[in-house]
Chain A
Amino acid sequence: MNPKDVLLTFPELLLWFPLISGLIAFVLKKGDHAKKWALTSSFITVGIVAASLFFTDQKYFNFNNVSYFWMPSLGSSFALMYDGMGRMLCLLTAVSFPLVFLSTYTNDYKKPHSFYGLMLLTQSGLMGVFCAMDALVFYFFWELALIPVYFLSSIWGGEKRIQATFKFFVYTFAGSLLLLIGIIYVYLHTPEGTFSLRAFMEAKLPPGKEKVAFWLFFIAFAIKMPVFPFHTWQPDAYEQSPTGVTMILSGIMVKMGVFALIRWLVPVFPYATQMFSNIVVVLAVTGMIYASCIAWMQDDLKRLVAYSSIAHIGLMCAAVFARAESGVEGVMIQMFNHGINIIGLWIVVNAVEKYWGTRKISELGGLANTSPTLTIFLVIIALANIALPLTNAFVGEFLMFNGLFAYGKWTTAIALISIILAAVYTLNMIQKVFYGPVRAHYPLAGVTRLDKGAVVALSIIVIIIFVLGVYPKPLIELTMSTVGAFMNKVHGL
């Protein structure tokens, strides 16, 4: 294919399309036009990503890579690449948004045009993060994805939204600025003085500086994931954000951190990674156990899911730093599956809150009697979340533990405790909320049935859970090249 024949490459399309449709959504002030527009736009984005999956071959290079001159004097160019991992995460981003829009379709937001506009801008920012090949461009999108989310949570969130999202914002902003210093450090040591990823990998930092830069990068990513002890913003932010935004935050935005470890941290600082991997793995495993224990004690459904997410992310972080091929492959698969599953959990929590008017486990009970459909969905998704075989998360977690085992037997043994704990708190929650005696809170009048949007979204999620649980090969194949490149970099010490 002649490069001149390519009008727009896939990464550009994925970046500009949500951006432009988001800006259009801002002016659709009438009725629910913005809502319909956003839903349509998000389906088109899925279509674009789906189409892009047929162009993975090397001969379509020009479809997947693009680079503009942007700030030549600074050594930065607007470079985007669409590799296996990027494709997988863009797919996740693309699939998540229609799920979110569908499941919250009946929610009435004040000023819907702004809400949907900001949502689509977030989508564009996320795509940019996953495709950026230039450190400065990456940094730009890393920050820009945050701004619309800040506004979304602060305007449409819960009671304590202002404090919670503000904590979240300042936390991540501080992390980003440290990342910026790290980027500058590496940039000044690149051979040609550019910000491209290749130059970053070739940069030769003196060992002392590499250590400093490693931590500057790591703290920024650790805050985003979040890894213990940088997680304190997360439960509050999840609890206070509107459900749609929580889904994006937990489903996709935390993946930015894991993604950044694989693309921007380990390959750029292989020595420092080797040196500090023990500390990071210990932090991650501690976080897993700690978060699982707290999840067990939670009375609020949203906070329970939030803490369970910290535990899952901790495992991904540990598996990346264990640097075994199967473990990293597991991280790839799990990034996708965790995103899908947690969105499913949020949809269920949202429905429970909407129909019973509370999220407190102690006030709920016997929901299965009044709402069997919801219960079936919840049980499937919850079992997937604790990685039962035949569900999608099993493959990923198995591979990750496999990788971790090669790294350290005792670490793995301790990390496995969190799996048991996950089963404990999840089953405990199911038992208390959905079975047992029916408590005082009956469904609020007239809303006993699940909305159609949520049923469609949950059905899609359940289908994904089973299909990928039985047949994970497509995901593995998609990300194989990235894992290979990553392992080469790790072993190329």
Chain B
Amino acid sequence: MIALILSALWGVVMMFSGIFLKNKKAAAPVAITGIIALLIVSYLEYNAVLYLDADIRGMLKFSAFGQVFTGVVFFCTLIYFILNAAEFEETGNDTFEYYALIFFILSGIGLVTYFNTLLMLFLGIEIISIPLYILAGSDKKNLKSNEASLKYFLMGAFSSGIMLMGIAFLYGASGTFYIDGINVATAGFSPMIAIGLVLLLISMSFKVSAAPFHFWTPDVYDGSPTVVTSFMATIVKVASFVAFLRLFDNAFGKVHAQWQILVALITAATLFIGNITAVFQQSVKRMLSYSSIAQAGFMLLAVFSLNTFAKEGLILYAAAYSLATIGSFAVVIKMKDYSLEGFNGLGKTQPFLALMNTIFLLSLTGIPLTAGFFAKYYMLIGAVKNGHQTWLVIFAVLMAAISAYYYFRVIQAMYFKEGNAEAKPVSAVFKYTLLFTAMLVIVLGMFPSLLTKALY
């Protein structure tokens, strides 16, 4: 609760410090201070040292799951800030505002993690989306960035509309916005509930870029400044997944059998389209955009199976995927040329960056001893344990094998192809943070329980 409020407040602090501190370079330290404060506060709240008892009419529910998840989000954002501090300054003139918008997004993420009524869910989703529309267009002079912003806005507004309509149907059927009330109402599975459920499923699929509602993703991710893409594709995406999981678990858990096949089809389509299209990409940035769709397909397995493995796994997946993708994007940003050829010979010119990127890509592939393996493992065991739709599990692993193809193409370019990959100079802080992130990926790959046991 305090962390939630603090994240919104710190956004305001960032905006005001933009007025008083003229130097762009001052923005990153202020933002990093804020995020560290958020981490400390959320740690204290998790251990019940800090406690704020406000009457919120039960609209938010602070569970251990949500607290651990926001902790992961804050931590990943911290790493994201440190790795991308230099890029923020280069993107445009309003450095302080960019950070401010990200803090607002963080408060939106807090809402979608803790929501207990559909109103809060909607508010959270909007608070996440609106700053993102601005951030996507932050490279104002670039036509592609403008296109991305507009496209994202139109699509986002559209899906928000669908979501509102779904909420309206559910309200009509159950007479309440509270998800417990809806859960009770689903017992008599009326057509109105069914329509509401499907509309919510569609709008959530939009937000997590699941097929066939993924069409905005590649263009938006590709057009936005890379530093923004890195945030959108990771932290925002996993937060939407947590909302997705919580909504369908708490509100529609009872009628799981009714909608499970729908989610299975969406999962299969997402895995298929994400992986197959990623294979054909020539730009690493665009490849990572499609790979984020493919990874979303794997995360959808959590919504498909809805058991303890799925919940533990989603937290682990969120951490593993975010860390690896933020790290990989941080390397991509430093490259002069984003195409695959641009990576040729990076292993010789920048051995450190190449090695770190390799670890991140191995994790995204799901090789053992990296966090990505256990993330995938939990998703698979959850789905197998669920016992229905065995074909989906087999399909998912075959798609994971295809994903090795495009991730390893980057590794091949870096190490096995001749070339002179050029990268911008990097600071020592950047190097150490990247190394730390890679170590974390490996540590989580050896001891995933470090994270999952925090849930209990």
Instruction: Write out the residue numbers on chain A whose beta carbons fall within 8 Å of the beta carbon of B420.
Output: none
- Contact flags B358-369 to A (C-beta < 8 A → 1, else 0): 000010010111
Q: Are B367 and A147 in contact (CB under 8 A)?
A: yes
Q: How far is the CA of A169 from the CA of B415 in the complex (A)?
A: 16
Q: Does B398 contact A (CB under 8 A)?
A: yes
Given A154-B416, A162-B416, also A174-B449 (CB < 8 A): no
Q: Does A205 contact B (CB under 8 A)?
A: no
Instruction: Write out the residue numbers on chain B whose beta carbons fall within 8 Å of the beta carbon of A151.
Output: 415
Q: How far is the CA of A185 from the CA of B390 in the complex (A)?
A: 11
Q: Does B397 contact A (CB under 8 A)?
A: yes
Residue of A139, A161, A178, A184 with highest tally of chain B CB at under 10 A: A184
Instruction: Write out the residue numbers on chain B whose beta carbons fall within 8 Å of the beta carbon of A161.
Output: 416
Q: How far is the CA of A368 from the CA of B397 in the complex (A)?
A: 52
- Contact flags A163-195 to B (C-beta < 8 A → 1, else 0): 000100110011001101100110110000000
Q: Does B57 contact A (CB under 8 A)?
A: no
Q: Are B449 and A140 in contact (CB under 8 A)?
A: no
| A178 touches which of B368, B397, B408, B449 (Cβ 8 Å) | B397
| A140 touches which of B362, B369, B408, B453 (Cβ 8 Å) | B369
Q: Does B380 contact A (CB under 8 A)?
A: yes
**Measured between C-beta atoms, what is the minimum distance from B255 to chain A in Å?**
25
The interface stretch among B47-55, B90-98, B194-202, B399-407 is: B399-407
Q: How far is the CA of A222 from the CA of B393 in the complex (A)?
A: 21
Q: How far is the CA of A230 from the CA of B369 in the complex (A)?
A: 27
Given A155-B415, A166-B408, also A181-B384 (CB < 8 A): yes
Instruction: Write out the residue numbers on chain A whose beta carbons fall within 8 Å of the beta carbon of B449.
Output: 71-74
- B397 and chain A: residue at smallest CB distance: A177
| B412 touches which of A71, A166, A174, A212 (Cβ 8 Å) | A166
Given A71-B448, A180-B377, A184-B381, also A170-B369 (CB < 8 A): no
Q: Are A169 and B400 in contact (CB under 8 A)?
A: no
Q: Are A139 and B400 in contact (CB under 8 A)?
A: no
Q: Are B393 and A177 in contact (CB under 8 A)?
A: no
Q: Does A32 contact B (CB under 8 A)?
A: no
**Measured between C-beta atoms, what is the minimum distance from A72 to chain B in Å?**
8
Q: Does B280 contact A (CB under 8 A)?
A: no
| B397 touches which of A73, A166, A169, A180 (Cβ 8 Å) | A180
Q: Does A380 contact B (CB under 8 A)?
A: no
Q: How far is the CA of A452 from the CA of B448 in the complex (A)?
A: 50
- Contact flags B340-360 to A (C-beta < 8 A → 1, else 0): 000000000000000000000
Instruction: Write out the residue numbers on chain A whose beta carbons fall within 8 Å of the beta carbon of B393.
Output: 181
Residue of A72, A73, A181, A212 with highest tally of chain B CB at under 10 A: A181
Instruction: List CB contacts (< 8 Å) of A27-78 with chain B.
Output: 71-74
Q: Does A438 contact B (CB under 8 A)?
A: no
Q: Does B394 contact A (CB under 8 A)?
A: yes
Q: How far is the CA of A181 from the CA of B390 in the complex (A)?
A: 10
- B382 and chain A: residue at smallest CB distance: A184
Instruction: Write out the residue numbers on chain A whose beta carbons fall within 8 Å of the beta carbon of B404.
Output: 169-170, 173
Q: Are A139 and B368 in contact (CB under 8 A)?
A: yes
Q: How far is the CA of A379 from the CA of B76 in the complex (A)?
A: 63
Q: Are B380 and A181 in contact (CB under 8 A)?
A: yes
Q: Does A464 contact B (CB under 8 A)?
A: no
**Measured between C-beta atoms, what is the minimum distance from A17 to chain B in Å?**
19
Instruction: List CB contacts (< 8 Å) of B15-70 with chain A.
Output: none
Instruction: Write out the residue numbers on chain B whose beta carbons fall within 8 Å of the beta carbon of A155.
Output: 415-416
Q: Are A170 and B416 in contact (CB under 8 A)?
A: no
**Measured between C-beta atoms, what is the minimum distance from B241 to chain A in Å?**
22
Instruction: Write out the residue numbers on chain A whose beta carbons fall within 8 Å of the beta carbon of B394.
Output: 178, 181
Q: Does B452 contact A (CB under 8 A)?
A: yes
- Contact flags B388-431 to A (C-beta < 8 A → 1, else 0): 00100110011011101100100010011100000000000000
Q: Does A476 contact B (CB under 8 A)?
A: no
**Measured between C-beta atoms, what is the minimum distance from B400 to chain A in Å?**
6
**Measured between C-beta atoms, what is the minimum distance from B44 to chain A in Å?**
26
| B384 touches which of A170, A174, A184 (Cβ 8 Å) | A184
Instruction: Write out the residue numbers on chain B whose beta carbons fall within 8 Å of the beta carbon of A283.
Output: none
| A170 touches which of B362, B368, B397, B401 (Cβ 8 Å) | B401
Instruction: Write out the residue numbers on chain A whose beta carbons fall within 8 Å of the beta carbon of B390.
Output: 212
Instruction: List CB contacts (< 8 Å) of B165-185 with chain A.
Output: none
| A154 touches which of B400, B415, B452 (Cβ 8 Å) | B415
Q: How far is the CA of A192 from the CA of B388 in the complex (A)?
A: 23
Q: Does B385 contact A (CB under 8 A)?
A: yes
Instruction: Write out the residue numbers on chain B whose beta carbons fall within 8 Å of the beta carbon of A185.
Output: 384
- Contact flags B433-449 to A (C-beta < 8 A → 1, else 0): 00000000000000111
- A179 and chain B: residue at smallest CB distance: B397
Residue of B377, B390, B397 with highest tally of chain A CB at under 10 A: B397
Q: Does A480 contact B (CB under 8 A)?
A: no
Instruction: Write out the residue numbers on chain A whose beta carbons fall within 8 Å of the beta carbon of B408.
Output: 166, 169
| B453 touches which of A73, A139, A180 (Cβ 8 Å) | A73
Instruction: Write out the residue numbers on chain A whose beta carbons fall within 8 Å of the beta carbon of B452.
Output: 73
- Contact flags A134-154 to B (C-beta < 8 A → 1, else 0): 000001100110010001001
**Measured between C-beta atoms, what is the minimum distance from A248 to chain B in Å?**
19
Given A151-B415, A154-B412, A170-B405, also A184-B368 (CB < 8 A): no
**Measured between C-beta atoms, what is the minimum distance from A122 to chain B in Å?**
15
Instruction: List CB contacts (< 8 Å) of A103-159 with chain B.
Output: 139-140, 143-144, 147, 151, 154-155
Given A154-B415, A166-B408, A184-B384, also A144-B397 (CB < 8 A): no
Q: How far is the CA of A140 from the CA of B401 in the complex (A)?
A: 16
| B380 touches which of A71, A73, A154, A180 (Cβ 8 Å) | A180
| B401 touches which of A72, A174, A184 (Cβ 8 Å) | A174
- A177 and chain B: residue at smallest CB distance: B397
**Measured between C-beta atoms, what is the minimum distance from A209 to chain B in Å?**
9
Q: How far is the CA of A140 from the CA of B412 in the complex (A)?
A: 23
Instruction: Write out the residue numbers on chain B whose beta carbons fall within 8 Å of the beta carbon of A169.
Output: 404, 408
Instruction: List CB contacts (< 8 Å) of B366-387 with chain A.
Output: 367-369, 377, 380-381, 384-385
Instruction: Write out the residue numbers on chain A whose beta carbons fall within 8 Å of the beta carbon of B417.
Output: 162
**Measured between C-beta atoms, what is the minimum distance from B412 to chain A in Å?**
6
**Measured between C-beta atoms, what is the minimum distance from B80 to chain A in Å?**
28
**Measured between C-beta atoms, what is the minimum distance from B354 to chain A in Å?**
12
Q: How far is the CA of A174 from the CA of B365 in the complex (A)?
A: 12
- B409 and chain A: residue at smallest CB distance: A166
Q: How far is the CA of A155 from the CA of B358 in the complex (A)?
A: 15
- B381 and chain A: residue at smallest CB distance: A184
- A175 and chain B: residue at smallest CB distance: B401
Q: How far is the CA of A144 from the CA of B384 in the complex (A)?
A: 24
Instruction: Write out the residue numbers on chain B whose beta carbons fall within 8 Å of the beta carbon of A72.
Output: 449
Instruction: Write out the residue numbers on chain B whose beta carbons fall within 8 Å of the beta carbon of A173.
Output: 365, 401, 404
Instruction: Write out the residue numbers on chain B whose beta carbons fall within 8 Å of the beta carbon of A170.
Output: 401-402, 404-405
Instruction: Write out the residue numbers on chain A whose beta carbons fall within 8 Å of the beta carbon of B368.
Output: 139-140, 143-144
Instruction: Write out the residue numbers on chain B whose beta carbons fall within 8 Å of the beta carbon of A143.
Output: 367-368
Given A143-B368, A173-B404, A177-B397, also A188-B415 (CB < 8 A): no
Q: Are B398 and A174 in contact (CB under 8 A)?
A: yes
Q: Name B residues whose Cβ lies closer than 8 Å to a Cβ of A.
A: 362, 365, 367-369, 377, 380-381, 384-385, 390, 393-394, 397-398, 400-402, 404-405, 408, 412, 415-417, 447-449, 452-453
Could you list 19 further interchain pairs (A-B, Cβ under 8 angstroms) beyond the known A143-B368, A181-B384, A181-B393? A74-B448, A144-B368, A151-B415, A154-B412, A162-B412, A162-B417, A166-B405, A169-B404, A170-B402, A178-B397, A181-B380, A181-B394, A181-B397, A184-B380, A184-B384, A187-B381, A188-B381, A188-B384, A212-B390
Q: Can you list 23 A-B contacts (CB < 8 A)?
A: A71-B449, A73-B453, A139-B368, A144-B367, A144-B368, A144-B369, A155-B415, A161-B416, A162-B417, A166-B405, A170-B401, A170-B402, A173-B401, A174-B398, A177-B397, A177-B398, A177-B401, A178-B394, A181-B380, A181-B393, A188-B381, A188-B384, A212-B390
Q: Name A residues whose Cβ lies closer than 8 Å to a Cβ of B.
A: 71-74, 139-140, 143-144, 147, 151, 154-155, 161-162, 166, 169-170, 173-174, 177-178, 180-181, 184-185, 187-188, 212
Closest 4 pairs between A and B when the two form their complex, measured CB to CB: A174-B401, A177-B397, A140-B368, A143-B368
